Structure 1
Amino acid sequence: MGDTDRFIDNGDGTVTDRKTGLMWKKTDTMIDLKKWVNYQDSADYVRELREQGFAGFDDWRLPTQDEAQTLYDESLSLTDKFGKTVHISDRFEPGCGFSMIIKLVDGRLRTSVFNIREGTLDYPDGLWTLSEAARAVRIHTSPGD
């Protein structure tokens, strides 16, 4: 499935990945808030999207590690805030951050950060000292629909 078939711009600020069934917010906190965020800021960001019913949905959240990694494809390119290449679909908005904060592992006060320039995971020490970007996701359909 090519990029044009796989990632669909829904025209409402969201992008659906037909391969995984995930719906992503087209922009991230770097674009929306014009700043890097820590974990609490990212949790507040997705909570506000839920409360606002962004794009008609109230189940927005931070992605898991596995979900975030599905966006990365070395053959894809988009320009981040610094004019460098991140390897996600060009259906997303350019000018994004180059990282994604991952939701907490249940029962643990640990998170990870996924670098969408390099496709690597990092495990920072502090939740409140993070300085990254965050992108909201929700489950939209069964994979392949």
Structure 2
Amino acid sequence: MDASQAAPNTGKEETPPAPAKGADAAKSPAEKAAAAKAAAAAKAAAKKEEAGGKPLADNGDGTISDPNTGLMWKKTDAWLDTRRFYKWSEHKSYLDEINKKKFAGHGDWRLPTKAEAATLVDKTKSLLDKNGIVIPIDPVFQTGCAANTWIGECADDKITRFDLKIGIETLYPTADIWSSIWAVRKPKSA
């Protein structure tokens, strides 16, 4: 628009047009969902930062240290190591093997508790699992992992595994179920 077409200056302040009802009115459902997810991730990241959350550390020896919990995780899970899943009755064979070999110099690898497994879930992070699906795990871990693990609360009469995609434990009515194993240890304080 050139100067000859400009609206005359009447000396009055003009009120800007009112925004469309709801700024999100023009967004598609997918755009709204993505915006909500981004806002939730930003809020979670800010909350973690306020709580003094420090980033996970790759130790360069196949292990990851969590300075917030003091836990040391194996960087790869049982699926990545063996290309198989384990029934509850078989889980000890994997742990026995890595402990016998003293993986990364340690022989005290074990199943995580439910609370420990929950610390892996971080909705501000993204890692591709073995199926190419994004899971909320820090990408310091190895891509291609399984999205579940046996947990220490599991027992022969209470088959329970932890789902890392959604951060909850799931009970099963049968022992004929499989899972991966995310091995963890708690280093002795110096």
By percentage of residues, which structure has more helix? 2
Structure 2 gap segments, 5+ residues each:
1-47
Partner of 1:39: 88
Q: What is the CA–CA distance in structure 1 between the aligned matches of 2:178 and 2:139, rounded to whole Å?
A: 24
Partner of 2:152: 103
Taking structure 2 as the reference length, the TM-score comes to 0.67
Q: What is the CA–CA distance in structure 2 between the aligned matches of 1:6 and 1:139, rounded to whole Å?
A: 17
Partners of 2:64 and 2:75 within 8 A in 1: yes
Deviations 1:10-37 (A, max 9, x none): 1111101110000000001111111221
Which residue identity lines up with residue 8 of structure 1 in the other structure? A
Of 73, 76, 81, which residue of structure 1 is paired with 2:122? 73
**Could you say which structure has the greater relative contact order, defined with CA pairs below 8 angstroms and 6 or more residues apart?**
1
Partner of 2:29: none
Taking structure 1 as the reference length, the TM-score comes to 0.87
Partner of 1:26: 75
Partner of 1:120: 168
Q: What is the CA–CA distance in structure 2 between the aligned matches of 1:40 and 1:99, rounded to whole Å?
A: 16
Which residue identity lines up with residue 60 of structure 1 in the other structure? W
Cα-Cα RMSD: 2.1
Shift of 1:105: 5.3
Q: Does residue 1:52 correspond to 2:101, yes or no?
A: yes
| Partner SS for 1:74 | coil
Shift of 1:123: 0.9
Number of matched residues? 140
Shift of 1:141: 5.6
Structure 2 CA distance for partners of 1:140 and 1:6, relative to 1, 3 Å = farther
Structure 2 CA distance for partners of 1:76 and 1:141, relative to 1, 3 Å = farther
Of 49, 65, 71, which residue of structure 2 is paired with 1:16? 65
Which residue identity lines up with residue 80 of structure 2 in the other structure? I
- Which is greater in Rg? 2
Which residue identity lines up with residue 179 of structure 2 in the other structure? E
Which residue identity lines up with residue 27 of structure 1 in the other structure? T
Q: What is the CA–CA distance in structure 1 between the aligned matches of 2:187 and 2:174, rounded to whole Å?
A: 31
Which residue identity lines up with residue 64 of structure 2 in the other structure? V
Percent identity reads 35
